[in-house]
Chains A and B, each alone.
Chain A
Amino acid sequence: MKRYSAFAVVREAFRNHAGWEKAWVNPEPRDKYDVIIIGAGGHGLATAYYLGKNFGITDVAIIEKGWLGGGNTGRNTTIIRSNYLQDGSAAIYEKARGLYETLSQELNYNVMFSPRGVIMLAQTQHEVRGYRRTAHANALQGVSTEFISPARVKEIVPIINLEGPRYPVLGGLWQARGGTARHDAVAWGYARACSSMGMHIIQKCEVNGIRQHEGKVAGISTIRGDIGCGKLGIVVAGHSGHLADMAGFRLPIESVTLQALVSEPIKPCMDCVVMANTVHGYMSQSDKGEMVVGGGADGHVNYTQRGSFHHIEETARALVETFPMISRLKMLRQWGGIVDMTGDRSPILSRTPLENAYINCGWGTGGFKAIPGSGWGFAELMARGYSPLCADFGLERFKEGRFVDESVAAGVAH
């Protein structure tokens, strides 16, 4: 793989850009791999990347039903933050946020990480107490956040309406090093790095069975034939229940559709991410000028990637009362993704009832921010059988009652 650099841009400018290589190869699947990862989204590709980089395991295939990064990785609102309450969550989300800081250099691919700051608005007394508690917890965890006054909120976000018709802004939880990144580039960057290590990314290859032998996974059946594996990682977000069904176990997960929408592009008006959990909406401005808006998830199981219409209305209502200036904006696009919700709003990075199969799912409405940390921890779990980053997120927590309750940190579907 040739490195991307300023020199390469100049060199190619002198030869009609004929020397750019394909970012990744599209190989035919082999009969067997040491490790198969199902799902070439951000989490699956990051897992493969850190398996190669941290543990030297490069005989890896990443199997994808559609095209890489075409699921929730390409459908989220790109928010990155780590202001969670519980120690285990703060550890993995802060690991991810830290890795994002240098991810462009690490992958030699511009993921456009923009630490522009994230505010979570406190609009009820309950939220004020909740976010003060989170700020104290974050101080102990080494995550830099602070609880700020309404005046400071207005200073950071001049377009906000502090005296909302329903809920005035009483303060906010501010994480200055949170922000956004280019979601497709995260998948593409990891994919390019995996491919250059010799891993196989096999797209348009739907898995339709998991072959087992004496309590172990022997391989998978796909529409392009059977493929054997030494270890299997299932990283398929909304379709986790579907894959678990093939493998013969159930998960504490329900898949629902979460929607987002973007407006027509306008001049820069808001240079941070604002989340309003009580009225239920959140917004940031993309580098193209579009206002990127996210809102509520459906209340029922839905695999269609088309959410219910009334959620759009609710989200628009919430954001117009928070930012009155957007009331005349036209919305350009709307879409949905299938998110895998757990009861405690925390992910599952775990062994499974099958000895050599592992599952990484349950990121629900907020998985994008965690991609590098999730890949780092899950690769360690798959390679060594244990990872301190994943220790709190095993499937056994549901039996043992050790929930990692993040209903406040994930209070809004994001």
Chain B
Amino acid sequence: MASLNCRVCKMLILKCPYCGASGEETEFECGGEAHLKRFGPGSGDDEFQGYLFDRVNRKGVHFERWRHSSGCGKWFHAARNTETLEIYGTYSAQVLEPPAEIREKISGKVPGWSWREFS
């Protein structure tokens, strides 16, 4: 049934980059904004507050952590648009910023977009 895509039934379809399985969002758990700059002991109050609480909460291109909680259980990253619900791709959790192919894909679709660090 072609009509059962994201646009109609309003569910995100994600693909786990580890086990390769695709599933709708109830198979996954969202872990919030990705690529936060971490601050630990020795950091200032402002930095620690920023790391713990402040979020870019972007309207548009957004990077998130997800967990394949009802599947292989692994954490991974997703690049997503919060305005259109389009998913640009998922990628490994073991990176500090989005891989070049994902960035190029987003730049091709969202004119003027460029990667920037969040903190």
Contact surface of A with B, Cβ cutoff 8 Å: 239, 241-242, 245, 250-255, 299-304, 306-310, 343, 398-399
Tell whether B74 is near chain A: CB-to-CB under 8 Å.
no
Interface residues of B (CB under 8 A from A): 9-12, 24-26, 29-30, 32-33, 45-46, 49-50, 52-59, 62, 64, 80, 82-85
> Which of A239, A254, A304 interacts with B55 by CB under 8 Å?
A254
Instruction: Give min CB distance, B5 to chain A, whole Å.
Output: 12
Kindly report which residue of chain B lies nearest to residue A299, judged by CB atoms: B30
Besides the known contacts A302-B85, A308-B25, A310-B11, 12 further A-B residue pairs in the complex with CB atoms under 8 A apart = A241-B55, A241-B56, A255-B57, A255-B59, A255-B82, A300-B80, A301-B62, A302-B82, A303-B83, A306-B10, A309-B11, A399-B45
Q: Knowing A251-B54, A343-B53, say if A308 contacts B59 (CB, 8 Å).
A: no
Give chain A residues whose Cβ lies under 8 Å from the Cβ of B80. Answer: 300
Q: Which residue from A254, A308, A309 sits with its C-beta under 8 Å from B57?
A: A254
- Which of B24, B49, B58, B62 lies in contact with A398, CB distance below 8 A? B49
CB within 8 Å for A241 and B30 given contacts A250-B54, A399-B46, A399-B49: no
Nearest CB on B from A77, distance (A): 20
Answer whether A308 and B12 are a contact pair too, CB < 8 Å, given A254-B32, A301-B58, A303-B82: yes
Residues of A within 8 A of B53 (CB): 252, 343, 398
Cα distance A55–B72 when bound, in Å?
Answer: 60
Would B57 and A241 count as touching, CB distance under 8 A? yes
Check A252–B55 contact: CB distance below 8 A. yes
Contact between chains at B10 and A253 (CB < 8 Å): no
Is there an interface contact between B59 and A303, defined as CB atoms closer than 8 Å? yes
Task: Determine if B25 and A252 form an interchain contact, defined as CB atoms under 8 angstroms apart.
Answer: no
Give CA–CA (A234, B32) in the complex, Å.
25
A310: chain B residues within 8 A (beta carbon): 11, 24-26
A245 to B24, CA, bound (A): 31
Q: Which residues of A contact B50 (CB under 8 A)?
A: 250
Q: How far is the CA of A239 from the CA of B11 in the complex (A)?
A: 22
CB proximity of A216 to chain B, nearest CB, Å = 21
- Taken together as a complex, chains A and B put the C-alpha atoms of A307 and B29 apart, in Å, by 15
Tell me which residues across on chain B come within 8 A of A253, comparing CB atoms.
55, 57
Distance in angstroms between the alpha carbons of A242 and B52 in the assembled complex: 19
Q: Cβ of A250: which chain B residues have Cβ within 8 Å of it? A: 50, 54-57
* Set B9, B30, B56: member contacting A300, Cβ < 8 A: B30
| Distance between Cα atoms of A216 and B103 in the complex (Å) | 35
Chain B residue nearest to A249 (CB atoms) is B54
Contact of B85 among A245, A304, A398 (CB under 8 A): A304
CA distance A223 to B80 in the complex (A): 27
In angstroms, Cα B57 to Cα A241, docked, is: 6
Pick the residue among A241, A252, A255, A307 that contacts B10 (CB under 8 A): A307
Q: How far is the CA of A387 from the CA of B84 in the complex (A)?
A: 39
B32, B56, B57, B64 interface centre (most CB from chain A within 10 Å): B57
Q: Could you say which residues of chain A place their CB within 8 Å of the CB of B10?
A: 306-309
On whether the beta carbons of A300 and B54 are closer than 8 Å, the reply is: no
Q: How far is the CB of A11 from chain B (nearest CB, A)?
A: 49
In the assembled complex, which residues on chain B have CB atoms less than 8 Å from the CB atom of A252? Answer: 49, 53-55
Which residue of A245, A299, A304, A308 contacts B11 across the interface (Cβ within 8 Å)?
A308
Query: Within 8 Å CB of A306, what residues of B?
Result: 10, 85
Q: Name 17 interchain pairs, CB-CB below 8 A, sorted by A.
A: A241-B59, A242-B59, A250-B50, A250-B55, A254-B57, A255-B59, A300-B64, A300-B80, A301-B57, A301-B62, A301-B82, A304-B83, A304-B84, A306-B10, A309-B9, A309-B11, A310-B11
* Closest chain B CB from A251 CB (angstroms): 7
A299 pairs with B49, CB closer than 8 A: no
A300 and B55 in contact (CB under 8 A), knowing A310-B26, A399-B45? no
- Of all A-B residue pairs in the complex, the 3 with the closest CB atoms, nearest first, are A241-B57, A252-B53, A250-B54
In the bound complex, CA of A389 to CA of B2 (Å): 53
